[in-house]
Structure 1
Amino acid sequence: MKKIKTDFNPRFRAGKKRSGVQLMETFFQFNELDISKERLSNIMNYAVKRNSWINEDPAEIFEFYQSMRSFIRAGYLIMLKDRKWTVYTKNEKISPWVLGLLSEKEYRNPLLVFKKAFREYTLKEFDYFMSGIVYFSMGVYKNLPERNIVMPYIHTVKMLDAAHLILQRRREKKMTGTHSG
């Protein structure tokens, strides 16, 4: 009898090679920024609570986990390409509401967020962080995650903000390019 192997790897990157920006566009087509940040926050909160677990469909959590893994890899690809996404605002003061968790410097050049995140943590460590918070959020456990999960969480939220900003600027650049022709 022939053994049948099931491939559980996501097929989202199958076919032609894609850039990090294209992968991020795909991420945001299926995940809104606010909802992604809220879901990540909920998973994180339940991961550190000892006597409760998240009250969401495990399939949705797993799907979100898979999309976040792909998102983090897309951020790594963007960081490797070293493209500039700087905005020159002539030293104008930027509203704290617009910044979110980003510093003014990161807002002006969102690529810095990815460079800093991947200078401090590897892809494997981000995978460990994501799988850890998902695991601990879905059940009641006596032990908590043994590593610091706060800093990878902050980096991940900042990457979401920075990626959204990059895509927004890319759209604006395309719009001004089509109107100036």
Structure 2
Amino acid sequence: MKKIKTDFAPRFRADKKHSGLQLMETFFQFNELDVSKEILSKMMNYAVKRNSWIHEDPAVIFQFHQSIRSLIRAGYLIMLKERKWAVNNQPEKISPLVLGLLSEKEYRNPLLVFKKAFREYTLKEFDYFMSGIVYFSMGVYENLPERNIVMPYIHTVKMLEAAHLILQRRRDKKMAETNSG
């Protein structure tokens, strides 16, 4: 009898069917921004604590891990296309509550978040980071993560916020076009 190997690795293609924006939209159809940031924060907190583990269902953590990997890849695809997502370049002051972790410059052009993140870390390093916080948050381990996981965490949260902002601006643009035309 012939052995059949099942490949569980997610597919990463950059065709029209799987564009970066489509991947982002899919992510936010199943995950809310605030809930995603909260889960990521919980995972990070438990990953650096000794003698404790996250009390979420492992299936939820695995699904979130796969979703966030997809979102990071979506950001990478968008960054490669070099499109501007700036809304206005006027020097008006933006409320700090609206910004989240983003700077004013990043808020005006969310693509900068992805450019900076992928200038500092590769897709493989973000995968390593996500796998590491999943691993260390799911059990009690003597050792802590061997690398600095704070900066990839901050970049990931900023990518969540930037992706949400890009989609919100895209929806607003479509609504404005629909209402004016």
Using structure 1 for the length normalisation, give the TM-score: 0.95
Aligned to 2:73: 73
Q: 1:12 to 1:29 in 2, by over 3 A?
A: farther
Distance, in Å, in 1 between the alignment partners of 2:124 and 2:60 is 23
Aligned to 2:155: 155
The alignment status of 1:54 with 2:54, answered yes or no, reads: yes
In the TM superposition, residue 110 of structure 1 has moved relative to its aligned partner by: 0.4
Unaligned runs of at least 5 residues, structure 1 = none
Equivalent residue runs for 1:1-181 within 5 Å: 1-10=1-10, 17-88=17-88, 90-181=90-181
* Aligned residue type for 2:48: V
Distance, in Å, in 2 between the alignment partners of 1:116 and 1:62 is 27
* Aligned residue type for 2:151: M
Unaligned runs of at least 5 residues, structure 2 = none
Alpha-carbon deviations, 1:110-146, whole Å to 9, x = none?
0000000000000000000000000000011110010
Distance, in Å, in 1 between the alignment partners of 2:9 and 2:121 is 23
Alpha-carbon deviations, 1:11-70, whole Å to 9, x = none?
797x96321011100000000000000000000000000110000111110111011111
What secondary structure, in the 3-state scheme, does the structure 2 residue paired with 1:17 have? Answer: helix
| Aligned-residue CA RMSD (Å) | 1.7
* Aligned residue type for 2:87: V
In the TM superposition, residue 83 of structure 1 has moved relative to its aligned partner by: 0.4
In the TM superposition, residue 89 of structure 1 has moved relative to its aligned partner by: 5.3
User: Which range moves more in the overlay, 126-135 or 15-24?
Assistant: 15-24
